[in-house]
Chain A
Amino acid sequence: MRDELTIEAPVKDRSVLEKLRTGDVIYLSGLVATARDEAYRRIALMNEEPPLSLEGWAIFHAGPIMKRVNNEWQCLSIGPTTSIRLESYSPSFIERTGVSIIIGKGGMGRRTAEACRKHRAIYTVFPGGCGVLGASFVKEVIDVKWLELGIPEAMWILRVERLGPLIVTIDATGRNLAEEVKSEAKSRMNEALSTIREGLTKKRMHEEKP
């Protein structure tokens, strides 16, 4: 497991991403754009042009808490939102924008893994719920696009320094750690059910209180 590697974004040379494997832990410095449900819908479903070129960019599935102070935006809290909601839009989003690093939480599915393999991109997990930690890596709020979507849904352009830990769960070969954990969980269902049955039998609940 690789640790402490810092990647500069936007990524110009994807060979640095191709060396990474699921389970590696990286940090990110440079530019990040947030994009979640509405931005994905606009780009992937409505075929709208992204408000700026995102080729090689890192995309953060996040809806931050922002505060406007003296005409400047401050990022108070920013952490990942559940990425799986974006799964169906994801291949088209990756293809149309050219993003190279996706940051989210909870993992994504087969379609994203396939798109990552095809476009030499990776998906990483930032620990969910760590909004203030996330904000501590934001050094500058550079711009905001699509603010009419509301603060959580707008596309925020941020400069970050060593944003992380980011755990690679889909690598550029298309391997998908989250899918592996999920299928393992399903394969352990019988074991879990026998624990339940033990509990039920011990108390003879079926007979006593059907």
Chain B
Amino acid sequence: MNGAGNALEDLIYRFIATVAVVLPDDVSNKLLELARMENSPYGKIIYNAVLRNNELARSRKLPLCQDTGTPEFQVAFGEGFKHKEELLAAIRKAVAKASLNGFLRPNAVDPVYNKNTGDNTGRILPWIDVELVPQSSDAVVQLYLAGGGSTRASGAVVLDPADGWERVFRFVLELIAERGMYACPPLMVLGVGVGPTISIAAKLSKKALLRPLGARSPDPWVSEMELALEKAINQLGIGPQGLGGAVSVGEVHIEYGERHPASMAVAVTTSCWALRKGQLVIRNDYSFDVTTHEEGLIDA
């Protein structure tokens, strides 16, 4: 291993630690806004605990939730980025190190042999989606920690196009009425993806999930429907931790693509209140920016 590889490994390690310990700025601001909007009897108790927890996590440099989820990376390599292989290797090593040092809980369980691999690496983990971006020489690394509970309210279905958008939204509402309470509401972002197949819809729903809070769909109708779906979900009254209340969802984000004449696939990816995500831009000279956390990376 050369020195450059080590530098990237250290950088990714600190990045992982930061995402597990500190909420990104957009989520942490939205959380305060939701706390002010909640009026249920338990709302105050729960938000007090949540805000105290997040402060403690930051000051003690510990993962704010014990379920640090499945680390899902997305790497957009500029074609001119020179350290592609080193970066991929660094991610793998940094995930294992973060797991051994308590920034990530060992969450990778082999389903055939029912054995925990112990360090969040394995046949498919750490999960890394890679794309190539022309005319760029940077690497953009996104990390989402997908908690087990928050995954529970997610779902997907292929609908008949003739049933139209009302059926799409009914699917989302029924899913959340049945399972939203198990995913640590308020669900910070509920990402909806609509496309021709489940796999494409799922990918779009993840894109929706990671869209920054406050950013609406550029399509005026879709952005209107994002607001309508937020309102409708809140009308269900699930509230913080599913104990009843005014606010069950932070924002609904919808991403869509062309459907097939015979199919309209819908996927929903939900996050808990603790939407832990981060974005790191790395340049060829190893300088970097963290675009999601204004305070930068923690020392880990």
Which residues does A use to contact B, with CB under 8 Å? 1, 23, 25, 62-67, 76-79, 81-82, 84, 105-107, 125, 127-136, 149-153, 165, 167, 169, 177-178, 180-182, 184-186, 188-189, 191-193, 195-200, 202-203, 205-206, 209-210
Contact = CB atoms under 8 A, between A and B. Distances in A.
A65 B103 CA distance: 8
Contacts of A25: 45
Interface string B188-222: 00000000000000000000000000000000010
B64 A132 contact: yes
Given A23-B41, A169-B243, A196-B232, A182 B181 contact: yes
Contacts of A195: 228, 231-232, 235
B237 interface: yes
B62 A132 contact: yes
A193 B224 contact: no
Q: 5 shortest A-B CB distances, which residue pairs?
A: A199-B228, A150-B116, A131-B66, A133-B53, A130-B53
Given A23-B41, A196-B173, A199-B225, A82 B182 contact: yes
A131 B65 contact: yes
A200 B101 CA distance: 50
Nearest to B52: A133
Interface residues of B, number: 68
Nearest to A135: B62
A127 B233 CA distance: 21
B232 A132 contact: no
A181 B237 contact: yes
Interface string B12-52: 00000000000000000000000000000110011001101
A132 B107 contact: no
A200 B52 contact: no
Interface in B113-150: 115-116, 118, 148-149
Question: Which residue of A64, A77, A169 has the most chain B CB atoms within 10 A of its CB atom?
Answer: A77
A170 to B, nearest CB: 12
Interface string B232-244: 1101111111111
B242 A192 contact: no
